[in-house]
Amino acid sequence: MAAVAAATPIVGSHVWVEDSEVAWIDGEVLEVHGEEVKVLCTSGKTVVVKVSCIYHKDTEVPPSGVDDMTKLAYLHEPGVLENLRSRYDINEIYTYTGNILIAVNPFVKLPHLYDTHMMAQYKGAAFGELSPHPFAVADAAYRFMINERISQSILVSGESGAGKTETTKLLMRYLAYMGGRAAAEGRTVEQKVLESNPVLEAFGNAKTVRNNNSSRFGKFVEIQFDQRGRISGAAIRTYLLERSRVCQLSDPERNYHCFYMLCAAPQEVVGFFFLR
């Protein structure tokens, strides 16, 4: 697998070159003159670029892309972006890179991807056997924990608006599905864990320029299981809260959700809150 720029392009080879409008555009090498290459882009324009600024294009990748990017011949920026775009065009928002799951925010609700039927499909399935999905990652972590008796961690990372908060909810829902108990009197531990999310969001999420529900803090969710694999407890820790937002805001951003909820709440609720 290559992850470097094309070092020795030849006439007729297919390459990626940078483009000011679409980031990367593919084309065919027309001429090679030392350290400069003349490329005919698929848009119809011809450009001359340095050899160090072009990347080989894998012409054998199917139009719909691949579900695991370790299958790509060239794992470089244009190749990765093109594969994600190809899958996004066919409504596939998840893609693997080995055991790493990459998600592209669809900015629409996709309830059919996360219902109980879907969780049942991923339960016990070998990792990579089904389409890429957060449930597959959660299932692999859960089963490794049960079989090896070793604590597992799932890291959810990404820029603002990428969907970290929603992905965390999905992972927690699946773990609650796998380690939940039969409903008894009162709420179960897993119900309490899932229901705590909206409360945390109210006190730690705010509207930003890029996202209407952006987490302005870090969150470490620890879910504890007993020897039978059932949820026995949980602890949620927050850190790096953006305190400056409370006293100073940039237009058109907002403060934390809880303040606006209090403003819209009945007077008796507001009074009770401040008495507490």
Beta bridge partners of 215: 205
Q: How much is the pLDDT for 2?
A: 45
Please give the single-letter amino acid code of residue 43: S
Q: How much is the pLDDT for 59?
A: 92
Global confidence as pTM: 0.83
CA-based nearest residue to 88, from 64, 113, 120: 64
Beta bridge partners of 40: 28, 46
Binding site feature residues for ATP: 158-165
Domains of the chain: residue spans and CATH: 1-92 (2.30.30.140), 93-275 (3.40.850.10)
CB 154 within 8 A of CB 101: no
Ranges under pLDDT 70 in the chain: 1-7, 181-187, 190, 272-276
Q: Where are the beta strands (DSSP E) in the chain?
A: 14-19, 23-33, 36-41, 46-50, 54-56, 94-97, 100-103, 205-206, 214-215, 218-225, 231-239
Neighbours of 110 (CB within 10 A): 9
Q: How much is the pLDDT for 275?
A: 57
Q: How many residues does the chain have?
A: 276
Binding site feature residues: 158-165
228 φ/ψ angles, rounded to the nearest 5 degrees: -90, 5
Q: How much is the pLDDT for 244?
A: 86
Q: How much is the pLDDT for 1?
A: 46
CA-based nearest residue to 176, from 237, 128, 209, 135: 135
